[in-house]
Amino acid sequence: MAFPERFSNLPEYAFPRLRALLDHHQPGGDPVAMSIGEPCHDLPPFIADVLNAHLDGFAKYPVNEGIAPLLSAIQGWIKRRYGVELTQDRLMVLNGTREGLFNAALALCPERKGGAAPVILTPNPFYQVYAVAALAVGAEPVYIPATEATGYLPRYTELAPDILDRVAIAYLCSPGNPQGAVADRDYWREMIALAERHDFQIFADECYSEIYRDTPPPGVLEVAQEMGADPERVLSFHSLSKRSNLPGLRSGFVAGGPESIRRIRQLRAYAGAPLPGPLQHVAAAAWNDEAHVDRSRALYQQKYALADRIFAGVPGYEGPEAGFFLWLPVEDGETAAVKLWRETGIRVLPGAYLARDDVQGNPGRGFIRVAMVTPIDELEVALRRLRDSLYR
């Protein structure tokens, strides 16, 4: 039997790979999960009431593009957060943004660009769905370092013109996963101008936009509007997983130009999995409420301060600007993860599992990613044990 070659070079996904690395070792203490970005803060208090009020919706096929109350709630949130007014034909409800980041490439990436296979740009390290999307559409993934030297954001503007002319899509995560870097307005302006000049689309993964220290990160939609850019030039992806502590809801959205959204809707009508109707009502209630988001953000801000205190003086430590990951420097991420598990029971992710090798090696190899998602009292104990194990 013949099988496709396009995914043959994919490494094992990060978490099965982590299990293979750690599970044959005994933990050195009660296990503490800090490898996966699964928020453990309280759920919004209204979830059960909204869900119970709409249970009969499980007896009906859900609306693919999103029910009107959910689209209206998303419109209102974008207006409040970014000052951008969008019509509903510029929105698409997603069954989690991972699905959307993948399917948008299927719907929008051309078969050829500049007479050759298109290029899809990806920061390195990165959220792994970007690479799979590139391979699925027959594009050439080009991995651009996002390291300390670049401010942990990829410098797409420094690429050669012949590569940029072949670019169809550029992925960018801000606030970044795993490093927590934020693209400021100047960065977004340069990116949008570059996309206009070389005729490609920006896929802005903004799922961590509501978790930050002091200042709300600017969004690609507001900067594009300020510049008067082509509405088709940018797509913004958001999620309730991190903002509202609802990763199991699998609810997000993409906002973009009307033609891009039309094409995404068309593809998902054939191949997508719409969010069940009752869950769409829950999502609408979550986008309409900011109080639970403010409470959760305040907890993350306490966690930033805690990490800054605990790792003060650790060479190379940089607290994140936003998001909830620590990107901690070590000699080798796999070695550090094994040592930490065997000595303390703390489970973290080697940074190399989030990156690809380039001419200078793997930019994630000298790091571990630590998810600050546990309750703050447990987090303090875990971070102190981590520091004492790896940096004493």
User: At 307, which CATH number?
Assistant: 3.90.1150.10
265 and 306 assigned to the same domain: no
Cα–Cα distance measured from residue 70 to residue 283, given in angstroms and rounded to the nearest whole number = 7
Please report whether residue 6 resides in a domain: no
Tokens of 354: 């989030």
C-beta separation of 336 from 326 below 8 A: no
Examine the domain organization and report whether 298 and 334 are in the same domain: yes
Query: Do 171 and 211 sit in the same domain of this protein?
Result: yes
Q: Could you tell me whether strands 367-371 and 349-350 are parallel, antiparallel, or unpaired per DSSP bridges?
A: antiparallel
Q: Which of 259, 274, 289 is the last residue of a domain?
A: 289
Task: Say if residue 25 is in the same domain as residue 54.
Answer: no
Q: Is residue 301 over pLDDT 80?
A: yes
Are 212 and 331 found together in one domain?
Answer: no
CB 99 within 8 A of CB 130: no
Predicted TM-score (pTM) of the model is 0.96
pLDDT band, residue 242 (cuts 50/70/90): very high
Both 19 and 65 in one domain: the answer is no
Task: Give the domain CATH number at 130.
Answer: 3.40.640.10
pLDDT, position 360 = 82
For residue 6, what pLDDT band results from cuts at 50, 70 and 90?
confident
Say if CB 274 and CB 64 are below 8 A apart: yes
Report d(CA 92, CA 81) in Å as an integer. 18
Last residue of a domain, one of 273, 289, 305: 289
Say whether 327 sits in a helix, a strand or coil: strand
Mean pLDDT of all residues in 89-107: 95
Domain assignment present for residue 1? The answer is: no
Work out the average pLDDT over 76-88: 98
In whole angstroms, give the CA distance from residue 173 to residue 207. 8
The pLDDT value given to residue 282: 98
> Which is nearest to 389 in space by CA: 335, 309, 352, 350?
335
Same domain as 245, residue 145:
yes
- In what order do the strands lie in the sheet containing 325-329? 325-329, 367-371, 349-350
Q: Are residues 67 and 33 in the same domain?
A: no
Domain of 302 in residue numbering reads as: 14-42+292-390
What's the pLDDT at 255? 98
**Is residue 5 in a domain?**
no
- Based on the fold, state whether residues 153 and 262 are members of the same structural domain: yes
Same domain, 129 and 252: yes
Among residues 242, 260, 289, the one where a domain terminates is 289
**Is the pLDDT reported for residue 359 higher than 80?**
no
**pLDDT(173) > 90:** yes
Q: pLDDT class for 366, splitting at 50, 70, 90?
A: very high
Tokens describing residue 27: 């933990």
State how far the alpha carbon of 150 is from the alpha carbons of 116, 119, 242, in Å: 29, 21, 26
Q: Does the structure show a pLDDT above 90 at 114?
A: no
Q: Are residues 213 and 272 in the same domain?
A: yes
User: How far apart are alpha carbons 122 and 171 in whole angstroms?
Assistant: 5
Per the structure, the count of domains in the chain is 2
Give CA–CA dist 369/351, Å, rounded.
6
Output the pLDDT for position 108.
98
Q: Is residue 8 part of a domain?
A: no
Average pLDDT over residues 322-328: 98
Instruction: Tell me the torsion sign for CA atoms 186, 190, 195, 196.
Output: positive
